Structures are given as C-alpha cells and as structure tokens.
C-alpha cells in the first residue's frame, strides 16, 4: 500500500521556518516594486491552453500540465509561467495607452523538472514594464532585479547579457524554414561548432562566418562589443543590437560596485519568447541562473495589441533557500484560562506586534519558529510580562 504522505517526484512541502522566510521576502519585494510604481496583479492558476501558450513557442508547451475542462470541454493549462498572463492583462484588460508597470507573485508548475532545478513547483515573482520601447526600460528592470537580490542578502551578482536580435540580423534576407531556425539556436546554445559549420554551408560566406563567430563572442562586455563590431555583418539590425547592448552595459555598470557584467551573444535561450536584450543573473553557490529577464515585444500581439515589454522573473523558493536564515521570533507564553483581564492584555500585546501563544495546562510547546523567552504572569490584580 502506497504511503499517503508521499508527494509526486520533485514536489515538496515548505516547512515553517522556510515558509516564513519566503513570505517575509515576498512582502518586502512587493513593497519594493510598489515604491517604483508597479501595480500588483494576480492571474488565474488555470486558463484555456490556447490563451496560456499564445506567442510563447514550444518550450513552454512541453512544461505545461494539461487537463480537460468539464464545463466547456476545452483543454485547460496549469500555468508554467506567469509572464504571458500578465502580458494578456496589459494588452486586453487594462488596455492603457501609456507606460504600465505590473508585478506579480504566484505558484507555477512544470510538467518536467527544469534543467538545473530540483523542483517542479515554483513561486514565481516578477516585474514587467509595458509601453516603453527604449533601452532605459531594460535598465530599470535590471536595476529592480539587483535590488530584489539585495533584499535577499545577495549583493555579489554576475549578470550575463545577450540579444535576440543578433541572429535576426545575421540571417536577414535569408529564406530559412522555422525548424531550421530552431536547429541553429540549439547548435549556438550548445556551441557545437563542428555541426554548426556543416549546417552553415548553405548560407552565404558572410553569414556563415558570423554564425561561427557568435560561439566565441562571450566574455567581458567591452571586449565582446569591440570584437563584434569587427566580425559581424554591417547592417542596420546588427548596429542597433550592438548600440543597445553598449548603452545597457554602460548604465548597468553604475548600478552596483559588486555587479559583474559579461556578454554571451550565443546564449539565446528563450528565443521564441524574447525579441531584444536578454539577461541572466547568477549568484554564488547556484550553477543555474537565479533569475532571467529581457524584452518580449511580440507576446501581447496575440491578444490583439502589440506592446513593447520588458521585465524579469525569479523563483522565490530558490531565492529564499540562498538567503540568510531569519532568526526565531521572540514570543510570550500565556496560560489558557477564561480570564477577561488576561484576554484583554493578550489582545493589547498582539495589537502591539507581539506574538502571544496560549498554552493549555500540561502542554509542552514545541515550535521551531518562535523563541518562548517570556511569559504572562499574574502580579496581584494585573497580568505582567516577565522573562522566563
């Protein structure tokens, strides 16, 4: 007989001390976003699948749990990413003309455990800027991400930049099938130079040489940008990509003294999703990125309104596991008796921010969350707080 307390593979409970840390960080980060003018939204956990996956490519489809709605007979999806939902809210429900800043925090689930992760459920936290097509919005997203990590005690951050437009510029004017484009991205991502060279033989020499060069265009921002100007084709798209990366690198380098910046022009993960600059944030003790973000100007188009968009998302559960532990909260122990004055005293203490735990007679308090270092005792006709 199967144990009823077992959970599915790579699904886990969050126990008291860690849950409090997660919630403390969530509140602090949403307050931070509010101070920047971001408005909180809460999309539904389930949506019709065709809406949930609109404009996101095949990667998200593979990660999405699917089920049949008994009311409509249509296929529903359990969200694996909240960003498309927030884009739908901006494009279809809010329908504003100017710049809109939205933030969110909610659970997402993955049908398969993501590469480099040990969990199929995440608490996704993110912030998005809609209606601003300039590079300054991308820098604001990066700045907010760094402050998010700083709130969790993670100040030493390595930020790796890339741009979805670089390959578009290299292949500009070439008639290439969609499946072949996917193959190119895969080869670039793995930096498989021998197979990439074989594939590139069907391209003009300039484009083929540029593809091969992408696999080596990684490292310090100034060096990569200087080299890219020499080896990549001279066209409007490439020039715009390099100009944007230069502006973002220059501005981001002023955000934090502990920030390390690099560029990898072959890191094109999420190409089906992103349309411009992309960034991945790394911290010590975690091999995969702690957060990813970038520009995705075309997602809203599927909802009837194309809007410039940029932002980032982060798994709050992973972030909390890397954040320093929060100390146990001091608590007061009070007896569980029917005494009006005692209940009034307890109410006043709780209203003032104290934790008061009423213990029944013979109860041995067992809590990992609270340090019961004080108690309520009767002193004559009054109830007073005394150290234990």
For 171-222, write each residue's pLDDT tens digit.
887 878 777 777 888 888 888 899 988 888 888 888 889 989 999 999 999 9
Query: pLDDT at residue 300 above 80?
Result: no
| Residue 110, in any domain of the structure | yes
Pick the range with the lowest mean pLDDT from 42-51, 228-237, 292-301, 335-344.
292-301
For residue 185, the domain's CATH number is 3.30.930.10
Total domains, the chain: 3
Q: How confident is the model at residue 2 (pLDDT cuts 50, 70, 90)?
A: low
Map residue 191 onto helix, strand or coil: coil
Q: What is the mean pLDDT of the chain?
A: 90
Q: What are phi and psi of 335, to 5 degrees?
A: -75, 155
| Residue 300, in any domain of the structure | yes
Residues 248 and 163 in one domain: yes
Nearest Cα to Cα of residue 88 among 301, 277, 315, 272: 301
82 is in an annotated binding site: yes
pLDDT at residue number 367: 80
| Residue 98, in any domain of the structure | yes
Using the 3D structure, point to which of 259, 282, 305 is the last residue of a domain.
Answer: 282
Query: pLDDT at residue 299 above 80?
Result: no
| Residue 101, in any domain of the structure | yes
360 is in an annotated binding site: no
124 is in an annotated binding site: yes
CA atoms within 13 A on the CB side of 388: 11
Residues 163 and 306 in one domain: no
Query: pLDDT at residue 157 above 70?
Result: yes
Structure tokens at 221: 């921002």
Residues 15 and 148 in one domain: yes
Query: pLDDT at residue 265 above 90?
Result: yes
Query: pLDDT at residue 351 above 80?
Result: yes
Query: pLDDT at residue 41 above 90?
Result: yes
Residues 146 and 202 in one domain: no
Q: What is the pTM of this model?
A: 0.89
Separation of alpha carbons 317 and 139, rounded Å = 25
Residues 54 and 71 in one domain: yes
Average pLDDT over residues 16-30: 94
| Residue 289, in any domain of the structure | no
| Residue 166, in any domain of the structure | yes
Average pLDDT over residues 247-269: 93
Average pLDDT over residues 121-149: 96
Nearest Cα to Cα of residue 317 among 23, 22, 12, 104: 22
Give the residue ranges of DSSP H helices in the chain: 16-35, 49-52, 58-63, 83-88, 135-151, 165-170, 178-190, 193-199, 205-214, 221-231, 236-252, 316-322, 340-351
pLDDT at residue number 303: 74
pLDDT at residue number 56: 58
Using the 3D structure, point to which of 258, 282, 306 is the last residue of a domain.
Answer: 282
Structure tokens at 142: 């990066």
Residues 110 and 201 in one domain: no
Residues 266 and 190 in one domain: yes
- CA-based R_g, the chain, Å: 26
Tell which wins on pLDDT, 188 or 25. 25
Residues 141 and 166 in one domain: no
Residues 321 and 352 in one domain: no
Nearest Cα to Cα of residue 165 among 55, 276, 57: 276
pLDDT at residue number 32: 97
Residues 133 and 25 in one domain: yes
Residues 146 and 163 in one domain: no
Q: How confident is the model at residue 58 (pLDDT cuts 50, 70, 90)?
A: low
| Residue 287, in any domain of the structure | no
Query: pLDDT at residue 302 above 80?
Result: no
269 is in an annotated binding site: yes
223 is in an annotated binding site: no
Axis-axis angle for helices 135-151, 236-252 (nearest 10)? 40
83 is in an annotated binding site: yes
Count CB-CB contacts under 10 A for residue 366: 5
Q: Which domain holds residue 365?
A: 329-387
Query: pLDDT at residue 271 above 80?
Result: no
Q: How confident is the model at residue 1 (pLDDT cuts 50, 70, 90)?
A: low
pLDDT at residue number 17: 86
Residues 138 and 161 in one domain: no
| Residue 288, in any domain of the structure | no
């Amino acid at each position: 007989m199967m144990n009823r307390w077992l959970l599915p593979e790579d699904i886990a409970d969050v126990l008291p001390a860690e849950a409090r840390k997660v919630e403390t960080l969530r509140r602090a980060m949403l307050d931070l976003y509010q101070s920047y003018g971001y408005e909180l939204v809460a999309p539904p956990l389930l949506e019709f699948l065709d809406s949930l996956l609109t404009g996101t490519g095949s990667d998200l489809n593979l990660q999405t749990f699917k089920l049949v709605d008994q009311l409509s007979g249509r296929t529903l999806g359990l969200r694996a990413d909240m960003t498309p939902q927030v884009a739908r809210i901006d494009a279809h429900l809010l329908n504003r003309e100017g710049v809109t800043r939205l933030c969110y925090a909610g659970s997402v689930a993955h049908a398969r455990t993501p590469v480099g992760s040990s969990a199929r459920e995440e608490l996704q936290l993110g912030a998005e800027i809609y209606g601003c097509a300039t590079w300054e919005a991308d820098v604001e997203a990066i700045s907010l991400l760094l402050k998010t990590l700083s709130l969790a005690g993670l100040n030493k951050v390595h930020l790796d930049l890339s741009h979805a437009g670089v390959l578009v510029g290299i292949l500009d004017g070439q008639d290439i099938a969609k499946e072949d484009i996917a193959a190119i991205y895969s080869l670039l991502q793995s930096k498989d130079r021998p197979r990439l060279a074989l594939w590139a033989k069907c391209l003009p020499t300039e484009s083929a040489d540029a593809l091969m060069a992408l696999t080596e265009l990684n490292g310090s921002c100034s060096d990569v940008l200087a080299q890219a100007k020499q080896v990549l084709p001279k066209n409007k798209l490439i020039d715009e990509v390099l100009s944007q990366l230069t502006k973002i690198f220059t501005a981001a380098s002023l955000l934090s003294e502990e920030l390390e910046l690099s560029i990898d022009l072959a890191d094109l993960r999420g190409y089906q999703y992103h349309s411009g600059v992309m960034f991945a944030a790394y911290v010590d003790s975690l091999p995969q990125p702690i957060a990813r973000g970038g520009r995705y100007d075309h997602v809203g188009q599927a909802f009837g309104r194309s809007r410039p968009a940029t932002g980032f998302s982060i798994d709050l559960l992973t972030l909390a596991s890397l954040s320093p532990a929060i100390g146990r909260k001091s608590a007061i122990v009070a007896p569980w008796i029917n005494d009006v004055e005692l209940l009034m005293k307890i109410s006043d203490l709780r209203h003032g921010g104290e934790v008061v735990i009423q213990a029944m007679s013979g109860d041995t308090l067992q809590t990992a969350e609270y340090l019961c270092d004080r108690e309520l005792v009767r002193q004559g006709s009054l109830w007073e707080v005394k150290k234990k």
